[in-house]
Protein backbone atom coordinates (compact mmCIF):
# COMPACT_ATOMS: atom_id res chain seq x y z
CA UNK A 1 0.00 0.00 0.00
CA UNK A 2 1.21 3.49 -0.86
CA UNK A 3 -0.36 6.68 0.40
CA UNK A 4 0.94 10.22 -0.04
CA UNK A 5 0.29 13.17 2.22
CA UNK A 6 1.65 16.68 2.02
CA UNK A 7 3.87 18.10 4.71
CA UNK A 8 6.53 20.69 5.48
CA UNK A 9 10.02 20.11 6.85
CA UNK A 10 11.16 22.76 9.35
CA UNK A 11 13.58 22.77 12.26
CA UNK A 12 14.41 19.07 11.94
CA UNK A 13 10.81 17.83 11.96
CA UNK A 14 8.14 17.07 9.37
CA UNK A 15 4.69 18.55 9.96
CA UNK A 16 1.91 16.82 8.03
CA UNK A 17 -0.62 19.18 6.49
CA UNK A 18 -3.30 16.51 6.49
CA UNK A 19 -3.96 13.51 8.69
CA UNK A 20 -3.48 10.19 6.90
CA UNK A 21 -6.44 7.87 7.33
CA UNK A 22 -6.43 4.11 7.93
CA UNK A 23 -2.69 3.91 8.58
CA UNK A 24 -1.69 1.35 11.22
CA UNK A 25 0.75 2.39 13.98
CA UNK A 26 4.48 1.94 13.32
CA UNK A 27 4.02 2.01 9.54
CA UNK A 28 7.31 2.50 7.67
CA UNK A 29 7.53 5.73 5.65
CA UNK A 30 9.80 7.15 2.95
CA UNK A 31 10.26 10.92 2.88
CA UNK A 32 10.99 12.74 -0.38
CA UNK A 33 12.09 16.35 -0.20
CA UNK A 34 10.74 18.65 -2.93
CA UNK A 35 11.89 22.13 -3.88
CA UNK A 36 10.98 24.81 -1.34
CA UNK A 37 7.61 26.38 -2.01
CA UNK A 38 9.01 29.85 -2.83
CA UNK A 39 11.52 28.63 -5.42
CA UNK A 40 8.95 26.31 -7.01
CA UNK A 41 6.50 29.20 -7.42
CA UNK A 42 9.16 31.44 -8.93
CA UNK A 43 10.30 28.68 -11.28
CA UNK A 44 6.75 28.04 -12.48
CA UNK A 45 6.18 31.75 -13.07
CA UNK A 46 9.37 31.97 -15.15
CA UNK A 47 8.51 28.92 -17.29
CA UNK A 48 4.92 29.85 -18.16
CA UNK A 49 4.65 31.87 -21.34
CA UNK A 50 1.75 34.12 -22.19
CA UNK A 51 -0.27 33.47 -25.34
CA UNK A 52 1.31 36.56 -26.86
CA UNK A 53 4.85 35.26 -26.16
CA UNK A 54 3.95 31.91 -27.70
CA UNK A 55 2.53 33.63 -30.80
CA UNK A 56 5.77 35.63 -31.20
CA UNK A 57 7.85 32.45 -31.07
CA UNK A 58 5.55 30.66 -33.53
CA UNK A 59 5.59 33.62 -35.91
CA UNK A 60 9.41 33.64 -35.87
CA UNK A 61 9.43 29.97 -36.84
CA UNK A 62 6.85 30.60 -39.59
CA UNK A 63 8.86 33.50 -41.02
CA UNK A 64 12.03 31.41 -41.05
CA UNK A 65 10.05 28.57 -42.66
CA UNK A 66 11.14 26.24 -39.89
CA UNK A 67 9.18 23.29 -38.62
CA UNK A 68 9.02 22.35 -34.98
CA UNK A 69 12.53 21.52 -33.70
CA UNK A 70 13.29 17.84 -33.03
CA UNK A 71 14.97 16.41 -29.96
CA UNK A 72 13.82 18.95 -27.38
CA UNK A 73 13.37 16.21 -24.76
CA UNK A 74 16.31 14.03 -25.76
CA UNK A 75 17.55 12.05 -22.79
CA UNK A 76 14.59 12.97 -20.57
CA UNK A 77 12.68 9.73 -21.16
CA UNK A 78 13.02 6.40 -22.94
CA UNK A 79 10.36 5.07 -25.31
CA UNK A 80 9.83 1.38 -24.47
CA UNK A 81 10.41 -1.23 -27.18
CA UNK A 82 6.73 -2.28 -27.07
CA UNK A 83 5.44 1.30 -27.58
CA UNK A 84 3.76 0.53 -30.92
CA UNK A 85 2.16 -2.74 -29.82
CA UNK A 86 -1.61 -2.91 -29.44
CA UNK A 87 -3.03 -2.08 -26.02
CA UNK A 88 -4.73 -4.84 -24.03
CA UNK A 89 -8.50 -5.17 -24.63
CA UNK A 90 -9.37 -4.02 -21.09
CA UNK A 91 -7.54 -0.73 -21.71
CA UNK A 92 -9.13 -0.20 -25.13
CA UNK A 93 -12.59 -0.78 -23.61
CA UNK A 94 -12.04 2.22 -21.34
CA UNK A 95 -12.06 4.48 -24.40
CA UNK A 96 -15.27 3.15 -25.91
44 found inside a domain: yes
What confidence score (pLDDT) does residue 84 get? 92
48 found inside a domain: yes
CA 49 to chain centre: 17
What confidence score (pLDDT) does residue 96 get? 83
49 found inside a domain: yes
Range of the domain at 46: 28-69
Q: How many residues does the chain have?
A: 96
37 found inside a domain: yes
What confidence score (pLDDT) does residue 47 get? 59
77 found inside a domain: no
Give the whole-angstrom CA distance, residue 41 versus residue 35.
10
16 found inside a domain: no
- Taking 50 as the pLDDT cut, the residues of the chain under it are 39-41, 43-44
Question: What does pTM read for this prediction?
Answer: 0.33
50 found inside a domain: yes
Domain count, the chain: 1
pLDDT in tens, 55-74: 777 777 777 776 666 776 77
Query: What stretches of 11-81 adopt beta strand conformation (E)?
Result: 13-16
Amino acid sequence: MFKSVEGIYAQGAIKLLQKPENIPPNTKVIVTFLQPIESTSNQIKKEILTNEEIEVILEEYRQENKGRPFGLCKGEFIVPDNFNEALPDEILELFE
